[in-house]
Amino acid sequence: MRISQYQFLNRDMWKLVRNLTIAKANYVERCKFLAIKSYKLIKRHYRKSIIKVLVDIGGGRGTILKFLSLVLGVESAILVDISPKALKKALKNLHRICADAHYLPLRERVADIALMFSVLELLKNPQEALKEAKRILKNRGLIIIQVPNFNGVIELCTGIPFPSLWPNKLKTLVFKSIFKHSNINWNVTPKLIKRLASNSYLYSYNYNTSVTLLARNPLKKFLPTGFLIVVENN
């Protein structure tokens, strides 16, 4: 019997597992939570008073981008995603671009701030994506990066409990049983992101945070569900 036919790869079963380990939370509420966290970090670290261009790389429907563009009062909010379906569902008044994060069709030094939420762990080459984000960023511009905590109590994509104890190949099979057309890199951690940022001549600040309201995790103050990382183009 092929491994893909095993019961533990049954999509309906893993939906049940996710419901048991992850609280049902409204998608818009989760986006607002991330937007508020990001807003506070931007206010703390961005050195200029005016933000003209905000770019969301891999932003899906652009919900977080929309919230931030309104509260920051940006002149231009640019949504970049590789999925045409996601862009068709994008919110109004966003400039939509269908593109790969490794090859952004934007000129150099156009963006004040770039967002990369739950993107780098899904890419074949996160180093190249960071270099591209740096290329479009103005001097002293910021990149706000969010990555999940793969060493926490619950893995938020699949609902896998104690994911650090599972072999990567098995976790990948479970992930693909739920998200059929996606790949994931389980080695993406804040430590790796900081090293990749340094290789791209970016300065990084690291923040532990429960980035969503999802997890049924009483220990999330000690084992956060994700991390926010602020990267500055110096």
Residues 207 and 142: their CA atoms lie apart, in Å, by 15
Q: What is the pLDDT of residue 79?
A: 95
Averaged pLDDT, 31-43: 86
Q: What is the pLDDT of residue 18?
A: 56
Mean pLDDT on 141-167 = 81
- How would DSSP label each residue in 212-233? -S-B--TTTTTS-SEEEEEEEE
Question: Which residue did the predictor score with more confidence, 26 or 202?
Answer: 202
In whole angstroms, what is the distance from residue 153 CA to residue 216 CA?
9
Average pLDDT over residues 182-193: 83
Quote the radius of gyration of the chain (alpha carbons, Å). 18
Phi, psi dihedral angles at 47 (to 5 degrees): -90, -10
pTM: 0.82
Q: At 138, is the secondary structure helix, strand, or coil? A: strand
Q: How many domains, in total, are found in the chain?
A: 1
Spatial separation of the C-alpha atoms in residues 88 and 129, rounded to whole Å: 23
Question: pLDDT by residue (tens digit) across 106-117?
Answer: 999 999 999 999
Residue 131: which CATH number? Answer: 3.40.50.150
Q: Which of 142, 75, 129, 78 is nearest to 100 (CA)?
A: 129
Structure tokens, 61: 């429907």
Highest mean pLDDT among 53-62, 86-95, 219-228: 53-62
Residue 99 has pLDDT above 90, yes or no: yes
Range with top average pLDDT, 71-85, 140-154, 176-190, 219-233: 71-85
Has residue 121 got a pLDDT over 70?
Answer: yes
Which tokens in the block code for residue 179? 């998200």
Asked if the model's pLDDT at residue 98 lies above 90, the reply is yes
Sign of the Cα pseudo-torsion (142, 147, 149, 154, in order): positive
End-to-end CA distance of the chain: 54
- Residue 159: domain span: 3-233
